[in-house]
Amino acid sequence: MGLLGRLLLTIDAAGLAVGAVVADCLNETHMFNPRWRPHAKFHNAQTVALAIILAALTLYYSWRPARTPELRREFVFASAVAGSIYWVAGLLAILAPGTMGVDPEFGGAGVPAG
% helix, strand, coil for the chain, step of 5: 70, 0, 30
Residue positions counted in the chain: 114
For residue 111, the model assigns a pLDDT of 53
Do the Cβ atoms of 78 and 60 come closer than 8 Å?
A: no
For residue 108, the model assigns a pLDDT of 65
Query: Tens of pLDDT along 30-88?
Result: 888 888 889 989 999 999 999 999 999 999 999 999 999 999 999 999 999 999 999 99
| Domain spans of the chain, in order of start | 3-100
Q: Is the dihedral of CA 47, 51, 53, 57 positive or negative?
A: positive
For residue 104, the model assigns a pLDDT of 75
Rounded to 10 degrees, the C-alpha dihedral 93/77/6/47 comes to 30
Q: How far is CA 78 from CA 10, 16, 28, 46, in A?
A: 14, 16, 35, 22
